[in-house]
Each structure stands twice: as C-alpha cells, then as structure tokens.
Amino acid sequence: MPLPKRQLSEDIDLRTAPSLPAKIRRTNISTQTDNLDPVADNDSDDAFASDKDNASDNEEPKIEGMYLDTVNRANLDFDFEQICSVSLSNNNVYSCLVCGKYYQGRGKQTHAYFHSINEDHHVFINLQTLRVYVLPDNYEVRDRSLNDIKAVIRPEFSLAQVSSLDSSCEQSRDLNGKRYLPGFVGLNKIKNNDYINVVIQALTHVPPIRDTLLQLPNIDKQTLLVQRLASLVRRMWHPKLFKSHISPHELVQEVLTRSKRRFGLELSGDAFELLTWLLNTLHIDLGGSKKRNSSVVYRTFQGEIQIMSQPIEDTKLRKCEQDPIEMDAHKSSVKFFKTPFLTLSLDLPQRPLFTDDDDDENGKRSTIPQVALVSLLQRYNGSTIVEWRGEAKKYQLASLPKYIICHVKRFSKTEFAIEKNPTVVNFPTRNVSFGELLPKTSIASIPEQDSNATYNLISNICHDGQPEQQQKTSSSTDEGSSAESHYLIYVHHKANDKWYKIRDLQVEHIMPQMIFLSDTFIQIWERSNAATKQN
C-alpha cells in the first residue's frame, strides 16, 4: 500500500529528533526522490541559513512535490496569448498546471492566489522564468518531472538536433498516443486563416529559415513578430508535444497588428501578398539592409535579374495590336539595369473571352487548359518581350539563389470581383533546369555551376475553389455553384522521400502524382545537392 503524501519514507520523526543535524531536519523532502533536481538542495541550504539557529525544532518541514500528482498535462495549452484570464494583463503571468488557465501574480491579493484557494489548485508556473511555485504556500518546486512542461512552453534545440532534422524520420507520440512527424503537424483554423497557415508551413520547411529561428540567440530582444514566429516554429519541430497539432493564435494576432489589419480573418486573403510582406518584414527585423546577404532572408531567396526596358511608342510600328513587339537595343531610349528579386511571377495564358465547342450547356469549359512550367519560365530567358505599363520589357536571370520562389498569377482583380484562372500547370518535381535561363554569352560572368543548376521542389501551395468575393457574388444566382475557397500545401520530407498534404489540421501522406490535382499557386524550389556541392 503506498504511503500517504505527508508520511515520510523512513520511520523518523523529525520533530522529536533534536540530535539530528539542522541541515537534515530542515531539508526539503520529496516523495519522488529520484526526480529531485540536485540544485534544489543547495538553494534550500541558502534559504534556511539565516534562520537555522532560531528555527524551532517542532517546525514541520516543507515537502516538495506534494501537489505534483494534481498536475494535468491534458489540460495544458500554451499556444494562446499569455494574458491573465481575469485582468487581461500580460505582466507576470502564471499558468495553473491543474486546469491550464492563465492568472496574474503570485502573492496575496492576486488572481493566481485567489484561484489556488477557491479551486484548490496549487501548482503554478511562471510563463517567463519557467519557475514552478505552490500556492498559497508560495514556495518554489524544483523537480525534474516538470521538465517536459517547460520544454513544451519554450523548446530548445542543440546544433546536433537541428542538423539531424532533415535526416530523421522517427515519429513521435502525443499524450493521447497519436503518432505525428515533428515538423509536419497541423495548424488550427481559427477563422479564415488558411492562407496564413500555408505560408507558415512553407517557411518552416525552408532549412535556412527554419534553422535560424530554431537557434536564434537572445530571442527576448527580438521583435514580437520574430519571437512569436520562432516560438511557433520551435513547437512545430518539438518531438515531445502534448498534442499533435498547434494553434497559431499568437502569431496571427501579431500579423494582424503589425500589418495594420491588412491581413484579416473575415475573408481568406492572398497567400502571396502575405508571403512577400512577411519576408520583407522579417528581413528588416533580423537586421537586414539593402545590401545583399545582409539577413538570412536575402541569403536564402535573393537573386538578381537584368531588365531591358523601352517605351512602346519607340518600338517598331505595328499594323495592329496583335502583332508582336520588336525592341531595338541600339536606340537611346532603351534602358538596361539589374535589380534583386525574392520571387519570380509567372503569367498564365489568358482565358478566352468567348465559349467554343468544348463548353457545356451552362457555359463552363469541359476541358481545362494546361501549360508546362518550363514554358512559363521562358519569360526570364532574355528573349521574351512583355508589355507592362506602357513599356516593352525583357527579363534575363543574372544570378540564381539557393531557393527560388515561383508565384503563378492566378487571380486578377476587376472592378466587380476577383477572377481566378483555372489553367493547370504541369511540372516535374525534380531536376528543373533554371540554369538554362541564364545568359549564354561569353561576356557574362556566370559561374559554370549556375549555368548547370537544377532545382527540386520542396513545397507547393495550392488553392482550391473560387475566391470568396466571387463566391458571394455568384451565391445569389447559383447556390453551390462554386467550391469552397481554401488553401492547402504539399510538403516534401527529405528523410523518407515522401510527400505530405497539409490542410489546416489535416496531415496525410500522399503519392507524388496527387500534387497536380490542385491549382498550383506558390512553389519553393531548392537547388539540388549536386549543384550545391560544386559551389
């Protein structure tokens, strides 16, 4: 039969044993002696050193861990904003380890103190210092059995752990025994934040960005956006989560605040606009400047492109608007300049204005147009002429980054609604030669490894359905005519060479052929290892 909580493991009455040393009589005793932190003994000696001589022999010793059996890890959730549930203050907040609620303060006349008395909950942890206290007695508990809770609140990764993330495919289990793969966990859908979730998932699986956030020094001195993004990424890759999904509540709140509510939750926003805003904001917050390689964002995604620009009225006269534009590089109106880029935009073929024989009786196309990714990339080969705001332009890639972000321009805004181009983009997932887009002239100082560079797909953000603005317009005339607007992402895992489909909380392993079933919107390509080793 187990001993009662306040009964000692040895038959010694400390109150009637004055011959024992004072250090033994007043030491902190735990019913879980194997889990004691050795540092606790030293702190206990210092705490009682001042009143050792004046203490009464009849004083009952404090027993650490006497309330640890009331800790309920199933009720703990540290994903939400750390504010007091009563005063809504974020100063000196404690979490009750019994019910999981947040309360302010620890002393008398505080919300945590009253909660401990009214609800008979006694174990609290400070969310900033990660120190555990027993209330209302107000003494600190140091026990190794609480280290898993501290690790969930603030996960830490060593250099060896970070370097093995892409080579380990070992699954973990949450408190309910559900298996999950660290890094491939679902994110809660708070309202219409699916476009935020896919951007977070995409950046989380870019190794340089992920590794920087996992080992960011002095995280408390970073901006609030960087703190919350780093905290979310660390929990996503933590191998000992209490539950196999995470809520991005804190980061979403900061995105709304920092962007001045440009990215809201009332309607599903544009994932590409959020991605560009987030990359530029992170670049500035991490100490970046206009110089190249000044931040991890520029070192990862920044390339260089050469642009040849000429006003259309100075180009060769055309008989009609359908005739192709010809540019004369010898004219004085032609401008040559180089500019850095973080993303490459790809224009889809325009939708036909009139229906044809392939359309059904309702005016909907029975066949969906298709285009190859290689064809879309020819925009950046230096020979394709593009009209843009009264100018004819040619784009030529000058240098390639290690990771390339491609944006397929599917949405076009009109005066009345946002229209979506349903053209299917066909692409291979491996060995796409971006090096062929670089100039082939001997004058250009292009490294040989760049001219032969190939890239592999690591993540693919897709959009299903129609934009919500178009849904609301068409719902009055044809209910249920358009599918629900939603973003999802396909992510590649290097260790097991498998693809995973992540749609908010849903994470499932899929075959590579399933990637082409959704409308591709944003792709992130990684330079292959062969080309990287040559560098």
Q: For residue 72, what is the domain's CATH number? A: 3.30.40.10
180 and 272 together in one domain = yes
350 and 365 together in one domain = yes
Closest CA to 122 of 194, 62, 57: 62
Q: Would residue 81 count as lying in a domain?
A: yes
Q: Would residue 397 count as lying in a domain?
A: no
Q: Would residue 337 count as lying in a domain?
A: no
- Only one residue has tokens 């990287």, namely 532
Q: For the segment 203-219, what is each residue's pLDDT rounded down to a tens digit?
A: 999 999 999 999 998 88
Closest CA to 192 of 469, 522, 403, 406: 469
Q: Using CA atoms, how far apart are residues 225 and 87, in angstroms rounded to an integer?
A: 24
Q: Would residue 333 count as lying in a domain?
A: no
Six-digit token pair at 391? 């100018």
188 and 286 together in one domain = yes
Task: Report the pLDDT value the prediction gives residue 122, as an integer from 0 to 100.
Answer: 93
Q: For the segment 365-412, what is each residue's pLDDT rounded down to a tens digit?
A: 557 889 999 999 999 988 888 887 778 888 999 999 999 999 999 998
60 and 201 together in one domain = no
The yes-or-no verdict on residue 52 having pLDDT over 90 is no
At residue 68, what are phi and psi to the nearest 5 degrees? -65, -20
The yes-or-no verdict on residue 333 having pLDDT over 90 is no
Q: Which of 286, 302, 318 is the last residue before a domain boundary?
A: 302
Q: Which of 103, 125, 151 is the last residue before a domain boundary?
A: 151
293 and 353 together in one domain = no
Q: Are 380 and 305 in contact (CB under 8 A)?
A: yes
Q: Would residue 19 count as lying in a domain?
A: yes
Q: Using CA atoms, how far apart are residues 131 and 116, in angstroms rounded to an integer?
A: 17
Q: Would residue 52 count as lying in a domain?
A: yes
Domain CATH number, residue 444: 3.90.70.10
Q: Would residue 2 count as lying in a domain?
A: no
430 and 514 together in one domain = yes
Q: Would residue 57 count as lying in a domain?
A: yes
93 and 72 together in one domain = yes
113 and 28 together in one domain = yes
If one counts the domains in the chain, the total is 3
Look at the alpha carbons of 110, 116, 122, 126 in this order and tell me if their dihedral is positive or negative. Answer: negative
132 and 180 together in one domain = no
For the chain, the first-to-last Cα distance in angstroms comes to: 68
Q: What is the mean pLDDT of residues 437-444?
A: 66
By the 10 Å C-beta count (0-12 exposed, 13-18 middle, 19+ buried), 398 is classed as buried
The yes-or-no verdict on residue 144 having pLDDT over 80 is yes
Radius of gyration of the chain (CA): 30
β-bridge partners, 399: 304
90 and 67 together in one domain = yes
144 and 233 together in one domain = no
Q: For the segment 15-41, what is each residue's pLDDT rounded down to a tens digit?
A: 333 333 333 333 333 333 333 333 333
Domain limits for position 365: 343-377+402-534
Q: What percent of the chain has pLDDT over 90?
A: 52
Q: Which of 151, 171, 193 is the last residue before a domain boundary?
A: 151
23 and 131 together in one domain = yes
Q: For the segment 275-330, what is each residue's pLDDT rounded down to a tens digit?
A: 999 999 999 999 988 888 899 999 999 999 999 888 876 555 454 555 556 666 65
